[in-house]
Structure 1
């Protein structure tokens, strides 16, 4: 059921055919937002996992918002530019950007040294790192023109501990720093930024991994976050009158939820993994021009 607290708000969620992006988009839709859903999957079968941008956009609308599917390969700057030109033409501005699109290699979680894995593991630097900068670059003028906006990067504890190898870790560290540094440039325009560390997610990809080794992952599904959980956090952060005080920070989603009094729809409170996996390192306040 939609609560319409984001009615009139325009959001872009990148990489939303499935997984975290899909859940975030649907959650924002449940609050009444108009959500532009980007991705490459137009038809079932386009990817190894189920999900399309059209299905996500439809789910956003069903949740109470307005879903708009936009085919966009975030490795192609021209397609990203066209996306934001469309948002400007149709909506006149932008209120929320969620940078979620990333490249996830099939061998990401396989054991072995980084030199034993394919070199194209570095594609996460193209879609995941560079693509987040490019989307932010094109989105920033729209956020600045509107004022009062929010730019979010989805990240993880892999920014602090060893998780899935150095390519994955470097990408997560980098988007955390994007949030910190872009906050400095955007502060005078009343646009906030944040990087949100998500926990393990209840996605089709996670289900597939767990099915391959059920003993190893026993009990993990029960404590994992739904993909929608982060979307509700983004909505709460956007509505927070003190959001600029948090701008530039890296936030653990489960802890932010406790501050806002949010839980999963079944009342479950996802745990923070701070003690086990580490805590965010916030940027030093020094500014060198």
Structure 2
């Protein structure tokens, strides 16, 4: 219980890597506020069944403690109210994980900006950039209250990959995700005088609820998806990212990473963490060296 006495917020903790991070932070002893737009009574535009309350149930099952708070992080007053509640109930915030997204339905793979829906492009910007800045504005005053605070901006792709290799996404998606890299550089600079750390974290090929559904498989038979996408062989569970972020939060010297974008694979090597099956996937190295190079989808040496 390395995070006993710590308080965390996982914004957008409804599903995927963010849900797993919330569970692992709770397992490690932190009290976790799980926020998002899909609750037991309301769904977001993503229109999936996972809820913030279910995430808290998983935290409880892991031996942790948390609470679900429905928050639309694009609504300033809702985020302000969240900050006031945390201040009132705990007076501190030690870990802020910003996993707000919900824009997958707007991506428009391969469409040039003039063909892609302008509303969908701008919606991704709102979800991937505006919501993160609004969240930082209201919650950072709690983070800086005590040295050792950690901010994690969740993203998709390493800084190098997004700058050099990513070519098939729409402009809006690329901007929404690539913005995480300069965002944490600026956040790290602003937090350094308070002894706090800001990083971006990207999972690899993620076996999230939505991805498994897209392939028509479950976690138990996920390898059946390799018939449609052989490179999915490098995929990892959300728990893998959750474990690595929890380890980072407990690291007394995490400030050495401030301003960087880190992958789940990198963090796993640093903290010697395995996925639930005992493997240690290094997805982004695999994507560059094997997948994008069109090589045989063998994962030997990459997990």
TM-score higher than 0.5 here? yes
Deviation at 1:38, TM superposition (A): 0.5
Q: Structure 1 CA distance, aligned partners of 2:35 and 2:201?
A: 20
**Counterpart for residue 260 of structure 1:** 271
Q: 1:210 to 1:107 in 2, by over 3 A?
A: farther
Pick one of 225, 228, 236 that aligns with 1:216.
228
**Counterpart for residue 232 of structure 1:** 243
Deviation at 1:168, TM superposition (A): 1.3
**Counterpart for residue 21 of structure 1:** 18
Q: 1:105 to 1:239 in 2, by over 3 A?
A: closer
Q: Structure 1 CA distance, aligned partners of 2:244 and 2:170?
A: 28
2:31 is the counterpart of 1:34: yes
When the two chains are superposed, the root-mean-square deviation of aligned CA atoms in Å is 2.2
**1:191 and 1:244 in contact (8 A); partners too:** yes
Deviation at 1:219, TM superposition (A): 5.4
Deviation at 1:189, TM superposition (A): 0.5
Mapping of residues 77-88 of structure 1, within 5 Å: 77-88=76-87
Q: Structure 2 CA distance, aligned partners of 1:261 and 1:105?
A: 31
Which whole-Å deviations, capped at 9, do the CAs of 1:97-142 have from their partners, x for residues lacking one? Answer: 0010113142525453333332222212112211111111211111
Gap regions ≥5 residues in structure 1: 279-289
TM-score by length of 2: 0.84
TM-score by length of 1: 0.88
SS at match of 2:255: helix
**Counterpart for residue 206 of structure 2:** 201
Q: Structure 2 CA distance, aligned partners of 1:15 and 1:272?
A: 23
SS at match of 2:9: strand
Q: Structure 2 CA distance, aligned partners of 1:185 and 1:80?
A: 20
Q: Structure 2 CA distance, aligned partners of 1:275 and 1:17?
A: 28
Deviation at 1:193, TM superposition (A): 0.6
**Counterpart for residue 8 of structure 1:** 5
Q: Structure 2 CA distance, aligned partners of 1:131 and 1:276?
A: 29
SS at match of 2:48: coil
**Counterpart for residue 152 of structure 1:** 152
